[in-house]
A and B are shown apart, each in its own frame.
Chain A
Amino acid sequence: MSAAPDSATKQPLLEIRDLEITFTTSTGPVRGVRTANLEVYPGETVAIVGESGSGKSTTAISIAHLLPKNGSITRGQVLFEGRDITHVSEKQIRALRGDQLGLVPQDPMSNLNPMWKVGSQITEALAANGVAKGAAAKQRAVELLEEAGLPDAKRRAGQYPHEYSGGMKQRALIAMGLAARPKLLIADEPTSALDVTVQQQILDHLDTLTGELGVAVLLITHDLGLAAERAQHLVVMYKGQVVESGPALEILQSPQHPYTKRLIAAAPSLASRRLVSVAEREEVREQAQEHAAGQPSEQANGPIIEARNLTKVFPIRGSVPWRTTPFTAVDDISFSLERGTTTAIVGESGSGKSTVAQMVLKLLQPTSGRVLFEGKDVTTYKGSALKTLRRRVQPIFQNPYGTLDPMYSIFSTIEEPMRLHGIGDAKGREAKVRDLLDKVALPAAMMRRFPNELSGGQRQRVAIARALALDPEVVVCDEAVSALDVLVQDQVLHLLNDLQAELGLSYLFITHDLAVVRQIADRTLVMEKGKLVEQGSTDEVFHSPQQDYTRRLLAAIPGGSIPLAGAETIDVEAPAGPADETVTEHGEGPEDIIDPFSQAGHV
């Protein structure tokens, strides 16, 4: 592969040759990885990029023999410092793990044992690798946590995982991975579950740390922008095969394989424009206004949805059971959504953006403030008035696996809203379902299928079709594309955009991903801790952010500053001073503990 003949003097730290991994399943053997080739040289960072199911994680964990029971390496070799470790004994690989090979797992929430103090889990890792014992190990654990960037490490070491925030847990796991000073650190999507600003800090820290220690990093990620920013060498995987590998910038600027080209075209952090041209958007708006003018409405030209001073206070359990402390999840938010446009609400987890969506959808009653639909206050709507409103405002939720009733066929799912509102007869409804499936680019044959037979992206498209069944005017997308792979996400975003142009829909788009906002939104609202910190047109927010918080969010978009042909870069000076989650005294803060609607918000 990339080993040139003149390089015989330099030996790669890790070399994977023609790796093939087969899983035994009930339907017969499945090859998870077909032919994977890659090399990691001492001290460098190599990133494996690919969508879910591409075999990137499988390749990485097979190095440390951590494949699930039904998976095995059926061909090829894994060489570590020139030694073949493909089929060595369990004892030998155990000696290698931790000591030579460090591992930072994907999900920080489930990879720390909740029953043990964080410090003792690191101490255990140290003892297992024979680095230190007893008091020395304890002392070392504190040092490692400090090194991983946890302030007040001594006290933190004595705390349990539930007292840590997500970012802090990931830092602890990095400390654990680096505890025995391995030569290679395998980081499997180390920051996918974290907010962008936290992700940036953690990756920055990981960079500096591995740089100082000279540790090579094998970074697994689905985010091409992130990979290009962090790694010198990229390996792109697709359906179990390596399709392209080479220097990061070169791949990004001149991709050769059609799959890589597709990935780069779809990556939201690298693409940079509103998906439809301004002129077309004008047309959409006019059409939507005309459409509205045809209806008996006084305020056809006003905003379709207006929120005025929305506030939501949740009572949370206080220090004693009978006393509750008020917690303001949303604090005095006002905004408006114009017909045929998209307004995005951006913020990190716990910023209250999903709560705003719930209130607009009338799934949650605001503590104070009003929601106006076409100028009328709908806050107090009940009964048939509410049912009529429901027809016109529809949601799309984040989790594609939870949003469809598993017992309902695709046909019944899309037909349900029409049945509920008594629209049309059986024939008419079927025709409408066919039409809707066509709109979301699914074959009509899917009608008879059930959600368990569909991929995440397909489910999300069905959810869109269901939301459109009642011809709504407003669609509230609560993190509607956040759980999808980049390519699928791009596909769904395009679909949403096309539908907006076709049907004159207005979107309220809730997301944590600023890169997506740039592709879809006309106006952007930035929320932080329940407060509105900035709002303006998307261009304004991206080009001249007024607030430090917005600037930090923008600077944290991975790959935003990489120059690419045909795209503008986001060049924002990140303000000094950490936005660190570590200032929070007790873990995640009250919002994460009590948010009763977390199922509609963040994963």
Chain B
Amino acid sequence: MRSDNRAPQRPKAQHWVAPLDETPLQEVDAADTSSTPRSLWAEAVHNLVRNPVFIISALLILLVLFVAAFPGVFTSQDPTYGNLSSANKPASAEHPFGTTRQGYDTLARTVWGTRTSVIIGFFTMICSTILGGAIGALAGYVGGWIDEIVSRITDIFFAVPMILGAIVIATRLGEMNMWTVIMVLSIFGWTNVARIMRGAVISTKSQDFVTASTALGAGSLTNLLKHVIPNAIAPVIVTATVNLGVFIVAEATLSFLGVGLPTSAVSWGGDISRARDALRNQPMMLFYPSVALAITVLSFIMLGDAVRDALDPKARKR
């Protein structure tokens, strides 16, 4: 107990009580049933739709997807029909974006190129996320020497620059098509997803609710699939969204370098590469596919940012 060596300085202390009508007493730990129930995902969507960055990027992506799905709405020209007699023409009523050296309609090439880019970007994203997610989840959840080995393998792939690795494999494969490009990009694109998944799984698996589930009789696989992965997936979704933009750029880069899609395919990368030679007299030939590429990639990266904000673990606690 307190030593009484200090004299009480307080003047005669009064016992003061607040009037009860000003401080009404509530039930202990009363359950709030007034608001509508919302899951974390609903919460994330709620935050997302109020974010202007999300709205802008979502509108742009919808536009890109629409163009990719229905290119015929925007142009009636065949992008693979070259009319040499009207080659190298500036913008006109018939060719609003002008024509290329082979007499292709630039508008048609740009519009149809969207489909190639979106398909390659989308499927590469799916493949690399599944591959990286599975590898990362396995390494993080099992741990021990399996984690050691898998992590070192991931590091090896991580150390190889994606474009460089893709060039090497693409030149070995020879003639490429859309699916081989997807495969080549996936082989080098899964590492960052795997690393993120591994980290998220490691931090999730040690949480009490996983232990509780084990004690309830759930097996390891049930725990991984039902509790660990759903809670670790948010940062992976963010990375995957950003990756989509990165893969579209990578595909364009490969085509630009001439190791991606064959010249017969309609692709922004290839068009940019060919427009390079005509940069001085026909700058618009380079401008349109480049702008299309930039807008598409930017919108996916912006979407990734908006999703990151919405799924931010710090914002999870209200």
- Do the beta carbons of B216 and A3 come within 8 Å of each other? no
Counting CB contacts under 8 A, is B217 at the interface? yes
User: Contact residues of B with A, CB < 8 Å?
Assistant: 1-3, 5-18, 20, 22-23, 25-26, 28-29, 31-33, 35, 37-41, 43, 206-209, 211-218, 222, 226-227, 230-231, 316-318
3 residue pairs, one from A and one from B, having the closest CB atoms: A7-B11, A246-B15, A390-B217
Chain A residues at the B interface, C-beta cutoff of 8 Å? 1-4, 6-7, 10, 39, 41-45, 207-208, 211-212, 214, 229-230, 232-233, 238-239, 241-247, 250-251, 256-259, 262, 361, 363, 386-387, 390-391, 393-395, 397-399, 401-407, 409, 416-417, 420-421, 442-443, 445-446, 448-450, 452-455, 457-458, 463, 466, 470, 487-488, 490-491, 561, 599-600
A244/B17 contact (C-beta < 8 A), A44-B8, A363-B214, A403-B208 known: yes
Question: B33 to chain A: which residues have CB within 8 Å?
Answer: 443, 445-446
Q: Which of B29, B213, B231 contacts A457 (CB 8 A)?
A: B29
| A contact residues around B5 at 8 Å (CB) | 211-212
Closest to B22 in A: A241
Residues of the A chain whose Cβ atoms lie less than 8 Å from the Cβ of B208: 397-399, 402-403, 599-600
Contact of A232 with B8 in the complex, beta carbons under 8 Å: yes
B228: min CB distance to chain A, Å:
10
**Distance (Å) between the CB of B219 and the closest chain A CB?**
9
**Contact across chains for A239 and B231 when beta carbons are under 8 A apart:** no
Contact A450–B11 (Cβ < 8 Å): no
Question: Are the CB atoms of A599 and B206 closer together than 8 Å?
Answer: yes
Further contacts, 20 of them, CB under 8 A, given A6-B11, A446-B31? A7-B12, A41-B9, A43-B7, A43-B9, A211-B2, A232-B10, A244-B17, A257-B17, A258-B20, A363-B215, A391-B217, A394-B215, A405-B231, A406-B231, A416-B218, A453-B318, A466-B212, A470-B217, A487-B29, A599-B206
Query: CA–CA, A256 to B231, complex, Å?
Result: 48
Complex Cα–Cα for A390 and B218 (A): 9
* B-side interface mostly: loop
Do B13 and A246 touch (CB < 8 A)? yes
Whether A390 and B215, one on each chain, are in contact in the complex, defined by CB atoms closer than 8 angstroms, is yes
Which of A257, A258, A449 meets B37, CB within 8 Å? Answer: A449
Please determine whether B23 and A42 come into contact, CB atoms closer than 8 angstroms: no
| Shortest beta-carbon distance from B295 to chain A in Å | 31
A215 smallest CB distance to B (angstroms) = 10
A-B contact pairs, 25 of them (CB 8 A): A2-B11, A44-B10, A212-B5, A214-B6, A229-B1, A239-B26, A244-B16, A257-B17, A257-B20, A258-B20, A397-B208, A398-B208, A402-B209, A403-B212, A406-B231, A416-B218, A417-B217, A443-B31, A452-B40, A452-B316, A452-B317, A452-B318, A457-B28, A466-B216, A491-B28
**CB <8 Å contact, A4 and B14:** yes
Closest A residue to B217 by beta carbon equals: A390
Contact between B17 and A243 (Cβ–Cβ < 8 Å)? Answer: yes
- Return A147 CB to nearest CB of chain B, in Å: 16
A247–B208 alpha-carbon span in the complex (Å): 43
Task: Output the least CB separation between B45 and chain A (Å).
Answer: 13
A42, A44, A208, A416, most chain B CB atoms within 10 A? A416
**A207 CA / B6 CA spacing, docked (Å):** 11
- Using A244-B17, A256-B15, A405-B231 as known contacts, say yes or no to A45 and B216 having CB atoms under 8 A apart: no
